[in-house]
Chains A and B, each alone.
Chain A
Amino acid sequence: MPIGVLLKQVPDTTAKIGVSGGRVDESAVSKWSMSPYDEYALESALRVKESSGGAVVAITCGPARAAKMLTDAAAVGVDSLMHVQIGSQDSLDSTQIQSILAAALERAGCDVVFCGKQAADTNGGSTGPGVAMLMDASCVSHVSEVSADGGGYLALRASPSGDERVHVSAPCVFAFDKGSEELRRPNVRGIMMAKKKVIETVSPGDLGVSMDESRVTLVSHSPPPEKPPGQKFEGADSVATVVGKLRDEANVI
Chain B
Amino acid sequence: MDVTVIADSTADGLTPVTAQLVGAAASIGGTSTVLCPGGVGASEAASISGVSKVISVEGDCFGTYEGGAWATALNSQASGDLVLAAASPRGRDIAASLAAIREIPVIQDATGLEAGMVVTRPIYSGKAMETSNVSGPCVITLRANAFDSAPEGGNADVNTVNQTADVGLAVKEAIAKASERLDVTEADIIISGGRGMGEPSNFSHLNEVADMIGAAVGASRAAVDTWDEIPHSMQVGQTGKTVTPSLYIAVGISGAIQHLAGMKTSKYIVAINKDPDAPIFGVADYGIVATWEDALPALKSELAKL
Measured CB to CB, the residues of A under 8 A from B are: 11, 13-14, 16-17, 19, 24, 36-37, 93-95, 98, 118, 120-134, 137-142, 144, 154, 156, 158-169, 172, 175, 177-178, 215-225, 227, 230-240, 242-243, 245-247, 250, 252-253
Given contacts A13-B239, A230-B285, A236-B288, contact A162 B177 (CB under 8 A): yes
Q: Are A95 and B176 in contact (CB under 8 A)?
A: no
CB of B131 within 8 A of CB of A219, answer: yes
Check B169 against A140 for contact (C-beta < 8 Å).
Answer: yes
* The residue from B129, B233, B258 contacting A13, defined by CB atoms under 8 A apart: B258
Name the one of A121, A134, A222, A230 contacting B100, with C-beta atoms under 8 angstroms.
A134
Interface residues of B (CB under 8 A from A): 10-11, 65-69, 71, 89, 92-93, 95-97, 99-101, 103-109, 118, 121-136, 138, 167-178, 183, 189, 213, 232-233, 235, 238-240, 246-247, 257-258, 261, 264, 267-270, 276, 281, 283-291, 294-295, 297-299, 302-303, 306
A219 to B119, CA, bound (A): 9
Contact, CB under 8 Å: B100 / A129 = yes
Q: How many A-B residue pairs have CB under 8 A?
A: 274
Q: Is the CB of B68 within 8 A of A215?
A: no
Expressed in whole angstroms, the minimum distance between the Cβ of A68 and any Cβ of chain B is 20
Task: Identify the closest chain A residue to B97 (Cβ).
Answer: A129
Contact B175 A162 (CB under 8 A): yes
Given A13-B238, A120-B125, are A243 and B173 neighbors across the interface (CB < 8 Å)? no
Is B99's CB under 8 angstroms from A94's CB? Answer: yes
Q: Is the beta-carbon distance between B302 and A239 smaller than 8 angstroms?
A: yes
Q: Which of B189, B258, B289 contacts A232 (CB 8 A)?
A: B289
A22 smallest CB distance to B (angstroms) = 9
Given A126-B108, A224-B122, A233-B287, also A215-B11 (CB < 8 A): no
